Structure 1
Amino acid sequence: MSGSTLERITIEPETQAKACVIWLHGLGDSGAGFSPIVPALNMPAQLGVRFIFPHAPEQAVTINQGYVMRSWYDIKGMDIGNRAFMPDVLASEKHVRDLIDEQIAAGIASDKIVLAGFSQGGVMSLFTGLRYEQPLAGILAMSCYLATGESLPEALSDSNKATPLLQHHGEQDEVVPFMAGKMAFDALKAAGYDTQWQQYAMGHSVVPEQIRDISQWLIKRLS
């Protein structure tokens, strides 16, 4: 199977890689935006966790006056129900699937792979992870919403119906409304997903307390 064409930053563990975290950035950022987080996560060496921070494709973004920037999908308006331009979401899902498949082909079991993302990247981690046909170790969705608004995506995979989800959101998020994240959580919970909600006194960002919580969750998922 051919690998992903996405450029990325890869941080290898000190020991042989036995697990992987694929971490998707937000609008206008790049993999370099989150890659410095790895030392702060303090993963035990024996877990052998490889981190991959892919760069989204460059494309015009309507709400940003059509400027070309790294984006997993176009945003044509601020209404959460229609914020994610679905043809782009599906194209980016293919890129993310290729990344997962690439790691499986390299010898990492699917249930040792965590799909993580912030903002647009969180939207993609939920959309892709919930539809992926092999069981993942976990899905981390930070400061985001469902690509499909109030409803869950179509073609959900039974393989990830029991996969642990962790959803984080800032109480003062000025970019993605707090209630949009909570709406996604409520929809997942109502559908029987094993999801956990944590909120923080922050805006559209990441705080040290949150990083500690993510570290503990990742260690549990990948041990």
Structure 2
Amino acid sequence: MLPPHRLRRPHAAPSHRPPLLILLHGKGSSEVDLFQLADLFDPRFIVLSLRAPFQNASGLYRWYERQDTADGSVYNEEEVRASRLYLVQAINDSVMALGADPQQVYLFGFSQGAAMAMSVALTAPRRIRGLVAIAGRLLPAIAPFGAPAESMSHLRVLLQHGLKDEVVPFAESATACQLFAELSVKQGIREYAAGHTITPAMLRDARQFLRVQLDTTLVKDQDGAAQD
């Protein structure tokens, strides 16, 4: 059974199992937020916008609690770990329930959703093909669950961040980009004159990145099938 979500089917009937794009919102939001962007993404995708598992007092949702202290940020590590498992299970269930291609699963996350997308890439890389992480950060709580670097060679990662971000500093994405590079993951980072938000330029670049990944990987897969 899928968690609470919003769903957009591919715009045209696919000739094979369609790729899946999962949208992951930030703290204090819900699955409705990023779903407003669903029809802007490549029409070949199944687009699934997921709700985070923990509810705030406001009635909206979060992936984990974080507090700023004099000694730095303090994370609720139990929530981080629970959300990571929740997301991995949601990916598995979505592929099965929606008939998606398990080799063509992509994540698009903002803020906490971006942090969770990177967490899946680093701990369960075989579950996804790539991701777009906007204004995200690495979460220390997932480090013990890191996967071997050789299991990440297929990943494609785009990190996006506003230079004026007052919530998550740009340095967080720079640090993440360096880690992915050290793991030999094909990655890129793009900076924008923006705060803690998704700008039209970010969305344009994200859409192009995802379209290129689809065009490249689907052609390779079809060529491989033809050779078989």
Q: TM-score band (shorter)?
A: 0.7 to 0.9
SS of the equivalent of 2:171 reads helix
Q: Which amino acid aligns with 1:206?
A: I
SS of the equivalent of 1:187 reads helix
Q: How far is the alpha carbon of 1:67 from its aligned partner? A: 6.1
Identity of aligned residues (%): 25
The C-alpha deviation readout for 1:24-44, integer Å capped at 9, x for no partner, is: 000001111111112333x1x
1:21 paired residue number: 21
Change in Cα spacing, 1:81 to 1:152, as seen in structure 2 (3 Å) is farther
1:155 paired residue number: 146
SS of the equivalent of 1:213 reads helix
Change in Cα spacing, 1:77 to 1:113, as seen in structure 2 (3 Å) is same
Cα distance between partner residues in 2 of 1:58 and 1:9: 17
Structure 1: 5+ residue runs without aligned partners?
61-65
Cα distance between partner residues in 2 of 1:91 and 1:79: 26
Change in Cα spacing, 1:134 to 1:29, as seen in structure 2 (3 Å) is same
Structure 2: 5+ residue runs without aligned partners?
216-228
Q: 2:30–2:61: 8 Å Cα contact kept in structure 1?
A: yes
1:93 equivalent to 2:90? Answer: no
How many residues get paired? 210
Q: Which residues of 2 match residues 146-185 of structure 1 at below 5 A?
A: 146-148=138-140, 154-157=145-148, 158-185=150-177
Q: How far is the alpha carbon of 1:92 from its aligned partner? A: 0.8
SS of the equivalent of 1:76 reads strand
Greater alpha carbon shift after TM alignment, 212-221 vs 12-21: 12-21
1:143 equivalent to 2:143? Answer: no
TM-score by length of 2: 0.82
The C-alpha deviation readout for 1:33-61, integer Å capped at 9, x for no partner, is: 111112333x1x4xx2111111112335x
Q: How far is the alpha carbon of 1:155 from its aligned partner? A: 2.8
Larger Rg: 2
Cα distance between partner residues in 2 of 1:203 and 1:94: 30
Aligned residues: CA RMSD:
2.4
TM-score by length of 1: 0.84
1:193 equivalent to 2:189? Answer: no
SS of the equivalent of 2:161 reads strand
1:63 paired residue number: none
Cα distance between partner residues in 2 of 1:80 and 1:139: 31
